[in-house]
Amino acid sequence: MRATMGSQWMGLPRTARWAIIIVIILLVPTMIRVIEQATNFGLLTQINRALIFVVLALGLNIVVGFAGLLDLGYAAFFAIGAYSFGILTYPGHGIGLSFFLALWICSGIAALFGLLIGAPTLRLRGDYLAIVTLAFGEIIPTLVRNLDDIHIRIGDIVIADGFNLTNGSQGLNPLGRPDFSFIEQMLRLEPGALRVTIDPTFWFFVVVIMVVFVLFAARRLETSRLGRAWKAIREDETAADFMGVDPVKTKLLAFAIGASFSGLAGVIYASMLGVITPDMFRFQVSITLLIIVILSGLGSVYGVLIGGILLLTFDGVFLAQILPTILPGDVVQSLRWLLFGGGLVIVMLFRPKGLFPVGLHGDTSVIADTTATVSPSVTKEIPDDASTIA
**Residue 372: which pLDDT band, with cuts at 50, 70 and 90?**
very low
Q: What is the pLDDT of residue 277?
A: 94
| Predicted pLDDT of residue 6 | 57
Instruction: For residue range 286-325, list pLDDT tens digits in order.
Output: 999 998 998 888 888 988 998 888 888 888 777 777 777 7
Q: What is the pTM of this model?
A: 0.85
Q: What is the pLDDT of residue 35?
A: 79
15 pLDDT tier (thresholds 50, 70, 90) = confident
Range in 86-100, 170-184, 370-384 with the lowest mean pLDDT: 370-384
Q: Which of 65-69, 255-259, 279-283, 321-325 shows the lowest per-residue confidence on average (mean pLDDT)? A: 321-325
Instruction: Give pLDDT, residue 92.
Output: 84
* SS3 per residue for the chain: CHHHHHHHHHHCCHHHHHHHHHHHHHHHHHHHHHHHHHHCCCHHHHHHHHHHHHHHHHHHHHHHHHCCCCCCCCHHHHHHHHHHHHHHHCHHHCCCCCHHHHHHHHHHHHHHHHHHHHHHHCCCCHHHHHHHHHHHHHHHHHHHHCCCCEEEEECCEEEEEEECCCCHHHCECCCCCCCCHHHHHHHCCCCCCCCCCCCHHHHHHHHHHHHHHHHHHHHHHHCCHHHHHHHHHHHCHHHHHHCCECHHHHHHHHHHHHHHHHHHHHHHHHHHHCCECHHHHCHHHHHHHHHHHHHHCCCCHHHHHHHHHHHHHHHHHHHHHHHHHCCCHHHHHHHHHHHHHHHHHHHHHHCCCCCCCHHHCCCCCCCCCHHHHCCHHHECCCCHHHHHCC
In the prediction, which pLDDT does 382 show? 43
Q: Return the higher-pLDDT residue of 186 and 207.
A: 207
Q: Using one digit for the tens of pLDDT, what is the confidence trace for 107-116?
A: 999 999 999 9
pLDDT band for position 4 (cuts 50, 70, 90): low
Q: Give yes or no for residue 374 having a pLDDT over 60.
A: no
Average pLDDT, the chain: 82
